[in-house]
Amino acid sequence: MSKQTLSFQAEVAQLLHLVTHSLYSNQEIFLRELISNASDACDKLRFEALNNNALYEDAPNLEVRVAFDQAAKTLTITDNGIGMSQQEAIDHLGTIAKSGTKDFMGKLSGDQKQDAQLIGQFGVGFYSGFIVADKITVESRRAGLPADQGVRWVSGGTGDFEVEAINRAARGTSIILHLRDDAEEYLNAWKLKSVIAKYSDHISLPILMEKEEWKDGELINPSDENGGRQPGGMVKTGEWETINKASALWTRPKKDITEEQYAEFYKAISHDHEAPLTWAHNRVEGNTEYTQLLYIPAKAPFDLWNRDKKAGVKLYVKRVFIMDDAEALMPTYLRFVKGVIDSADLPLNVSRELLQESRDVRAIREGSTKRVLSMLEDLAKHDKHDTAANAEGVTDVVDADDKAKEGKYTAFYSEFGSVLKEGLGEDFGNRERLAKLLRFASTASDAVTVGFADYKARMKEGQEAIYYITADTLAAAKNSPQLEVFKKKGIEVLLMTDRVDEWALNYLQDFDGTPLQSVAKGAVDLGKLQDEAEKKAAEEAAEAFKPVLAKLKEALKDKAEDVRVTTRLVDSPACLVVQDDGMSNQLARLLKQAGQQAPQSKPVLEVNAEHALVKKLDGSVHFHDLAHILFDQALLAEGGLPEDPAAYVKRVNALLA
């Protein structure tokens, strides 16, 4: 193939413009990204070579080499991994299909420090080279292709790039950065070694640099020894040395790993710029043997709710990388967990189909799930300043001292609580443990810190249920008319405002033997909390109001399944409820908003017979209009909209006039 010039896709060109105009606040991360890419290329070769050992050619030892040339002002990162063909170079480096750049561009906020950290999350780490380089040359040959099918890719980071065929004896890829004047500090061995030690020390294959030694300057005028000597300097010896530990971090003893090393390893595998909230590192022995290093992030990723995005931990078998995002090893509701699982039992040629069927994989999944839940239980315990003994299995969680854990569970729950609730419907075996980890706001606290156990400890004497209400917002929940009698009697009600709440609670009927009861379902029954005088007064009011109820039922027969007198209202004239086994109005609205079919059902209108507006109904010439206004206002109060807003406004205006 002769040399040809191709254009970047528009989004790639836009990204390159941002990169070259100092998008990054932390310049040195380019080296982390390029070394990570080189390591990935070697992992891919190792995996493909399981079925085709010839791909190793004459170089079975995988490695990454970092070299610099001060005279040419170039920095070169070379790997002997899988390499690229000509078409792969075009696809990987020039188009949106592989880079994920479109999503990247859509997430930029304008905050340079924040935007700087997005690059790894979208697989566009290669472009970080333009932070320090005004031109990048990539030379590569895919393993298994002949030497004359190498490729050279060159770009100045503007609107286009050149591609041409070259002869390349060695498989793998060399990325040659032509450094800008303001990046010459990376032409220094000490600087490069310090950056690699900071970000890439965990890489499990050797990172090599050429040794240097000091050489004294030579005399150019022997008669003038002081003034005629050339300056001394560091000179390369031609020998290469390994500058990282070159052993997988998770295989080392925990006592030999610092918290900073754990944190840097997390950042490398997650492409997150923040340190993790907590982590667990342990070896499991028994019928199934494996090592797990699992992290809980401090912040939710932007695509947490994207069900199409693959998520999961990295799977290794006997330290051989098998796959990213091994979804079978972690349940979906824990998709935020990052880390590594290294199995000693799975076959090296493990496939995705085998992952789904393997008994060993099920054991790893169950063990890892319990480990994550133990980590969360530990955080939750310290969040409440509890001094009880650690929960089972938590004793080897690697973290800072207990004091440092205070407040971490609240931080975790604000980011991932909604996802955790999905486990009620997905993980029957751990449902009780999950229920203890859930937190809500309540009529006693706006903060989302109230657990079911906290609620039970505060229940009134004679109270027989845990009461809750679901709504779109905290304000809508707090001000719902359905709470009025509970507020009057000082009964705490949990306020649930996540979209997933209504669905999740279908799988949780009780907590520790106490039933959960929605205040918006069925007739209110406070049992022992309602005295006989109140019950008698309610019965008398209902009896006296029967003629009006009959007229209301007739007027609203197309809207309401039933109309009845209620004791749950104190200040409001009416509210809507559904039958005990019915779908709540909020869940029905959410389904419709998602484009799904909701069961057709009518709500029940409950009216407060003591309210002045309700009393006006008896004998009013505007009975029909007032009845519909009552219904529509009750619908508005719970976050819904009248079926015919214009008719509602017309009725209200007529009465006001």
Residue 596: its pLDDT value, please?
A: 65
Strands 604-607 and 574-577 turn out to be antiparallel
Residue 386: its pLDDT value, please?
A: 38
Residue 418 lies in a domain: no
Under 8 Å between Cβ of 181 and 203: no
Which amino acid does the sequence have at 533?
Answer: A
Same domain, 133 and 38: yes
Residue 12: its pLDDT value, please?
A: 62
Residue ranges in the chain whose pLDDT is less than 50: 22-23, 96-102, 104-105, 112-123, 385-400
For the domain that residue 219 is a member of, what is the CATH number?
Answer: 3.30.565.10
Residue 117: its pLDDT value, please?
A: 45
Instruction: Show which of 194, 227, 242 is a domain's final residue.
Output: 242
Same domain, 86 and 234: yes
For the domain that residue 458 is a member of, what is the CATH number?
Answer: 3.40.50.11260
Same domain, 518 and 470: yes
Residue 185: its pLDDT value, please?
A: 94
For the domain that residue 557 is a member of, what is the CATH number?
Answer: 1.20.120.790
Instruction: Show which of 242, 276, 305 is a domain's final residue.
Output: 242
Residue 390: its pLDDT value, please?
A: 39
Residue 506: its pLDDT value, please?
A: 87
Residue 398 lies in a domain: yes
Q: How many domains does the chain divide into?
A: 4
Q: Which residues contact 566 (CB under 8 A, 6 or more apart)?
A: 523, 524, 575, 606, 607, 608
- Residue 355 pairs with which residues in a beta bridge? none
Residue 224: its pLDDT value, please?
A: 59
Residue 619: its pLDDT value, please?
A: 77
Same domain, 87 and 177: yes
Residue 336 lies in a domain: yes
Residue 424 lies in a domain: no
Residue 594: its pLDDT value, please?
A: 61
Residue 485: its pLDDT value, please?
A: 87
Query: How far is the C-alpha of 448 from the C-alpha of 442, rounded, in Å?
Result: 8
Instruction: Show which of 525, 541, 566 is a domain's final residue.
Output: 525
**Segments in 49-185 forming alpha helices (H):** 86-94, 96-99, 101-107, 112-115
Same domain, 550 and 496: no
Same domain, 544 and 478: no
Residue 474 lies in a domain: yes
Give the domain range for residue 190: 4-242
To the question of pTM greater than 0.85 for the whole model, the response is: no
Residue 421 lies in a domain: no
Residue 94: its pLDDT value, please?
A: 64
Task: Name which of 305, 331, 338 is nearest 500 in CA terms.
Answer: 305
Same domain, 458 and 535: no
Residue 414: its pLDDT value, please?
A: 92
Same domain, 395 and 285: yes
Residue 22: its pLDDT value, please?
A: 47
Q: Which residues contact 376 (CB under 8 A, 6 or more apart)?
A: 296, 409, 412, 420, 437
For the domain that residue 337 is a member of, what is the CATH number?
Answer: 3.30.230.80
Residue 29: its pLDDT value, please?
A: 76
